[in-house]
Amino acid sequence: MLDLILRHCTLPDGRVDQDVAVAQGRIAAIGTALPVSAVQDIDAQGQLLSPPFVDAHFHMDSTLSYGLPRVNQSGTLLEGIALWGELKPTLTQDAIVERALNYCDWAVAKGLLAIRSHVDVCDPRLLAVEALLHVRERVKPYLDLQLVAFPQDGVLRCPGALSQLQRALDMGVDVVGGIPHFERTMAEGAESVRLLCEIAAERGLQVDMHCDETDDPMSRHIETLAFHSQRLGLQGRVAGSHLTSMHSMDNYYVSKLLPLIREAGVAAIANPLINITLQGRHDSYPKRRGMTRVPELIAAGVDVAFGHDCVMDPWYSLGSADMLEVAHMGLHVGQLTGREAMRQCFEAVTTVPARILGLAGYGLDIGCQADMVLLQARDPIEAIRLRATRLLVVRRGQIVARTPAQEAQLTLPGRAASVQFQRPH
Ligand code: FE2
């Protein structure tokens, strides 16, 4: 007897009428009209069954702190960093834990079951590190939380940051972070990249740096990140987050840069919701779009994920853990409107970030972890269009969240009584 079977599912690769059977927390069988029975037998009615959403870039230490102690007036990255600096001394471990656990509840409800979160290591107390290590354990049964040691104020610029970053890694933080464009000079930025990549290589860890999150086309730390990734044999273990300066770089230089990123096996993580609002603030018109060159990176063979980055914090006042909202914005800002490009936007919040995080057993194949989300949509493109309702969220074969199907009741004479917004058959 199996634990769970979801019948008549559509899968992201286009297969229809598939039954997905689960035993002991793993996918046991996939096929049409499986002749098996299970404790729970659910008719998915042709809706899309996807592996869960994955957020490759988030800040869980600041989430849900919007308005504390005040709001960001200019809307810029730099005021956000200053505001976070005002908030930091007043933080308590309990408050960080409570906000993070609240956010994880939102995430589960939205089918977001793996998050890579940066955690600021520039507070000498390492209060946020302790808090999020605790949260990582608390949520483990239902959400994979990966932590990045992030020197928000610059690993070289901020006194003590380097030893605090090492301490955070000793305490069990998973990934080495950085912020080269916030160091004092370009040279110091490059030096920070070298230093941090060497720490990762020595410790056998992954790297994920905030890199070139600026409108300055001369901010070229991604080149240095690619260089050291290759020099140290870190291919496949390094990600450059944001990379927004690429939107303003000279095309000739980018034509050299893209193959370097590809050769070095460096992944790119764009954060469309945040960067469309933070970047271009010094422009009049025309005003730059604040996102890296997503279609060009994908065409060059680089793994590109979309991250949420922030939800209700000093940098961003909106958000609800909805990775389909992230994909929707990424699609628009990147003009990724072709059918294949729209499907790639769905992959940028599912399979690609799962690969970047190195999630074991992720996917909809026999033997994979039974982590899944049933969406009120017929295919990945419709899921993005509708920011589709998460009808069911499954973790290790257990249903952990349900949301009723979205349906509006109409009272129009001569028309149907209800409408669901899905494409008519
Ligand atoms: Fe970030």
Per-residue pLDDT of 323-376, as tens digits, reads: 999 999 999 999 999 999 999 999 999 999 999 999 999 999 999 999 999 999
> Rounded to whole angstroms, how far apart are CA atoms 302 and 318?
29
Using alpha carbons, list the distances in angstroms from residue 107 to 11, 319, 393: 22, 11, 10
pLDDT at 424 over 80: no
Statement to judge: residues 11 and 88 lie in one domain: no
Taking the mean position of all CA atoms in its chain, how far away is CA 327? 10
Given 317, 340, 357, the domain boundary residue is 357
Ligand 1 geometric centre to CA of 425 (Å): 41
Identify the CA nearest to 108 among candidates 329, 392, 307, 327. Answer: 392
Query: Would you tell me the crossing angle of helices 127-139 and 93-109 to the nearest 10 degrees?
Result: 40
CATH number at residue 182: 3.20.20.140
The confidence score (pLDDT) of residue 174 equals 98
- Same domain for 17 and 141, yes or no, is no
CA of 36 to the centre of ligand 1 (A): 46
Note whether 59 and 34 are same-domain residues.
Answer: no
Q: Are residues 190 and 327 in the same domain?
A: yes
Distance (Å) from CA 46 to ligand 1 centroid: 37
Asked, for residue 420, whether it belongs to a domain, the answer is no
CA distances, 348 to each of 281, 309, 317, 355, 407 (Å)? 26, 14, 23, 10, 28
Q: How far is the CA of 44 from the centre of ligand 1 (A)?
A: 36
- Domain count for the chain: 2
Amino acid, single-letter form, for residue 84: W
Report the pLDDT value the prediction gives residue 400, as an integer from 0 to 100. 98
Closest CA to 119 of 82, 77, 147, 93: 147
Find the 114 Cα to ligand 1 centroid distance in Å: 16
* β strands within 44-155, DSSP E: 48-50, 53-59, 112-120, 144-150
Question: Does 421 reside within a domain?
Answer: no
Residue 123 lies in a domain: yes
Q: How far is the CA of 343 from the centre of ligand 1 (A)?
A: 24
In this prediction, residue 425 carries a pLDDT of: 66
pLDDT for the residue numbered 327: 98
Average pLDDT over residues 164-169: 98
Q: Is the pLDDT of residue 263 over 70?
A: yes
Q: Which of 295, 326, 357 is the last residue of a domain?
A: 357
Is 227 among the domain residues? yes
Residues 234 and 330 in one domain: yes
213 counts as catalytic: yes
pLDDT at residue 316 greater than cutoff 80: yes
Q: Are 90 and 157 in contact (CB under 8 A)?
A: no
pTM greater than 0.85 (yes/no): yes
414 Cα to the center of ligand 1, angstroms: 51
Give the pLDDT of residue 25: 97
Are the CB atoms for 22 and 397 separated by under 8 Å? yes
Query: DSSP secondary-structure letter at 88?
Result: G
Catalytic residue (choose from 213, 325, 347, 382): 213
Which pLDDT belongs to residue 88? 87
Give the mean model confidence (pLDDT) for residues 163-184: 98
Same domain, 368 and 242: no
Q: Which two tokens stand for residue 210?
A: 């905030």
- Residue 49 alpha carbon to ligand 1 centre in Å: 29
**How many angstroms is it from 210 CA to the middle of ligand 1?**
6
The pLDDT value given to residue 423: 83
Ligand 1: distance of its center to the CA of 275 in Å? 10
- Report, as an integer, the average pLDDT of 84-93: 91
Report the separation in Å between the CA atom of 150 and the middle of ligand 1, taken as the mean of its atom positions.
Answer: 9
Query: Does residue 415 form part of some domain?
Result: no
| Boundaries of domain holding 317 | 53-357
**Cis (ω within 30 of 0) for the bond into 286?**
yes
Name the residue among 391, 389, 295 with its Cα closest to residue 340: 295
Q: End of a domain among 334, 357, 380?
A: 357
Let me know whether 142 and 40 are in one domain.
no
Output 332-335 pairs: Cβ under 8 A, ≥24 positions apart.
332/272, 333/272, 333/275, 333/276, 333/289, 333/290, 333/291, 334/270, 334/272, 334/291, 334/294, 334/295, 335/295
Is 73 inside any structural domain? yes
92's CB contacts (< 8 A; 6+ apart) are: 127
**Could you tell me the distance, in angstroms and rounded to a whole number, from the CA of residue 103 to the centre of ligand 1?**
16
| 423 vs 282, residue with greater confidence | 282
Residues 12 and 24 in one domain: yes
Q: Which amino acid is at 45?
A: Q
Residue 141 lies in a domain: yes
C-alpha 274 – ligand 1 centre gap (Å): 9
Phi and psi torsions of 150, nearest 5°: -115, 110
Mean pLDDT (the chain) is 97
Residues 150 and 244 grouped into a single domain: yes
CA of 73 to the centre of ligand 1 (A): 19
Is the domain of 253 the same as that of 397?
Answer: no
Domain CATH code at residue 398: 2.30.40.10
Flag whether 419 is in a domain.
Answer: no
Is the pLDDT assigned to residue 203 strictly greater than 90? yes
Terminal C-alpha separation, the chain: 35
Q: Same structural domain for residues 47 and 57?
A: no
Q: Are 21 and 101 within one domain? A: no
How do residues 232-249 score in pLDDT, each as one tens digit?
999 999 999 999 999 999
